[in-house]
Amino acid sequence: MNFKKKKDGTELTVAISGRIDTATAPEVEAYISRNLDGIDNLILDFKEVNYVSSAGLRVLLSLQKKMMAVGEMKLISVNESVCDVFEVTGFDEILKYEKGE
């Protein structure tokens, strides 16, 4: 699991690479949560995320709730297999995301 962050004022972009599953979901949530002070726009770059489990979905839902209180959260560059997970689980109705190439 790797992270790259870029902060621009109150906007934070976090590029995540790897799988977001039971083993890595707590790390993802902890890393992002500790970087949210003063942030009202969170962008998660999913270009290098190839799998999201139910534990990963719970993390995304938790982050979405946190961000809705202060601003917004968006996922970008989401690959087709992760989009399929969002659609099957109904998360396509909850999360704001853009499909990748």
Say what the alpha-carbon torsion angle 49, 72, 54, 37 is, to the nearest 10 degrees: 80
- Strand runs (DSSP E) across 32-92, as ranges? 41-52, 72-78
pLDDT above 70 covers what percent of the chain? 100
Give the model confidence (pLDDT) of 9-57 as tens digits. 999 999 999 999 999 999 999 999 999 999 999 999 999 999 999 999 9
The model carries a pTM of 0.95
Residue 97 forms beta bridges with which residues?
75
Domain boundaries, the chain: 2-99
CATH class of 2-99: alpha beta
Dist CA 94 CA 23 (whole Å): 24
